[in-house]
Amino acid sequence: MNAVKKLTVLMLVLAALLSLAACRIGEPGKVPETAPSAPIQTQGDEPAEPEPTQPEPTEPEPTQAPEPTQPEPTDAPEPTQPEPTDAPEQHVHTWADATCTKPRTCTACGATEGEALGHTWTDATCTAPKTCTVCGATQGRALGHAMLPATTEAPATCSRCGYTEGEPLAKSMDWNLLILACRHAEGAYRGEDGQEKALDYTMPDEELRLYEETAKAVERDLAGMSGGVIVPHVTFKVAEATLTTSFLKDDGDGFGAYLDTAEAEAFLRGEIDLNAYDHVTVIADLDEMPCGYWGLTLARFSQETGYAFINNGNYETFSGYFFDEENYWTSGPVIHEFLHFMEGWSEKRGRPVGYNKNGNTIVDSGETLGYEPDEYYDFKTFYTDLINCAVTLPDGTLDGIDPAMWREPPRLYR
């Protein structure tokens, strides 16, 4: 019985140790100690009495707990965070269309693509320079109008664009003409023999009356020869001032002395208003001064008034040519020089007279063109055709003063 108690006590101790070992499993480095197994008791055997021994309690040796294991790596990629970079975000261009002078351009960064379109030019006109139809840029200057003079059918008109100015000309037009006689001329001059001589001549009243009749004849004949297209108003005046040789010009070519345009304008200042006339004929008697001309058509005055100078020498010379109670035409020399002026005026106005042979203009070519002179200096038939642009040239064409020119007296252009 004592043996059984001892065995029971021993088994209780062993159970306690096993319980203690079970509690310490899991401590790292601890491995639980196993209790010695009790002898198995079989039926029929007498339990042997163990010798009473007092077992010494033993501390279970620490055991090392198994280390936790990490799961085996698999092939599945682990999620990764994007690595930070310094690269900026990608720029998206905002394009503005190409223009005449710039290619397609990004409005944000200024980058370009392609080329500029280039200008689309329209030609310059009378009022506008060469212009781009796309952007409005200009180049050069406007051409300006190319005006054709007014006619009886149309006003002054631009030949390029049709722009007009003013009104058509009247069917007939007034012309204001002046014949001015220099009653007295004086001064020193050098004669053909080289000797110095004196000019001192005064027109007699008979001569002045003849010039007054000449003015009336010019008015009558111009109106008649033009068929009424010209409405001439011819005035006769006598200069109060003395024409001195200081006013006269001599080129030294043997042609003789004459009153040039500049000198005539200075001489006439205070005598007349040049703006009131379309043409002025100055008549003087230079007596015995050397002279190789009868009449001269000279440059127009500064306000475009026509100008002619006639030297009749003296009354005796003049009357020998023109004074005849039955048959004389005193308007001849004045009309001749007036038609020379019309040649130049026509050219300035863009309607030149075409004929010119060997330096002789049409006014000096009556006989060359087959016209016979009448008594004295009477080429009235030739001048009539010339005034009406009806002179027949050798090639059969007609020439003369363009009828439209009679609607353009100089005073209209001042």
Q: One-letter amino acid identity for 400?
A: G
Distance CA 27, CA 65 (A): 6
Helix ranges (H only) for 133-236 are 205-225
Global pTM exceeds 0.75:
no
Confidence of residue 39 (pLDDT cuts 50, 70, 90): very low
Tell me how far apart the alpha carbons of residues 6 and 25 are, in angstroms, rounded to a whole number.
Answer: 29
**Which residue carries 């030149």 as its tokens?**
352
pLDDT at 323: 57
What is the pLDDT at residue 190? 81
Instruction: Identify the three-state secondary structure at position 16.
Output: helix
State the sign of the Cα–Cα–Cα–Cα dihedral 218, 221, 225, 229. Answer: positive
Read off the tokens for 99. 């223009």
pLDDT digits (tens, 9 = 90+) for 302-343: 999 999 999 988 888 777 665 555 545 578 889 999 999 999
Q: What integer is the mean pLDDT of 400-407?
A: 90
Asked if 1 contacts 45 with a C-beta cutoff of 8 angstroms, the reply is no
How do strand 173-182 and strand 184-190 relate by DSSP bridges?
A: unpaired
Which residue type sits at 274? Answer: L
R_g of the chain computed on alpha carbons: 67
d(CA 382, CA 366): 6
Q: What 3-state DSSP class applies to 78?
A: coil
pLDDT at 40 over 50: no
Annotated domain spans of the chain: 173-342
Element (H, E) at 186: strand 184-190
Domain 173-342 sits in CATH at 3.40.390
pLDDT in tens, 251-303: 776 678 899 999 999 999 888 999 999 999 999 999 888 888 888 999 999 99
Say if residues 122 and 128 touch (Cβ distance below 8 Å). Answer: no
Residue 56 has pLDDT above 60, yes or no: no
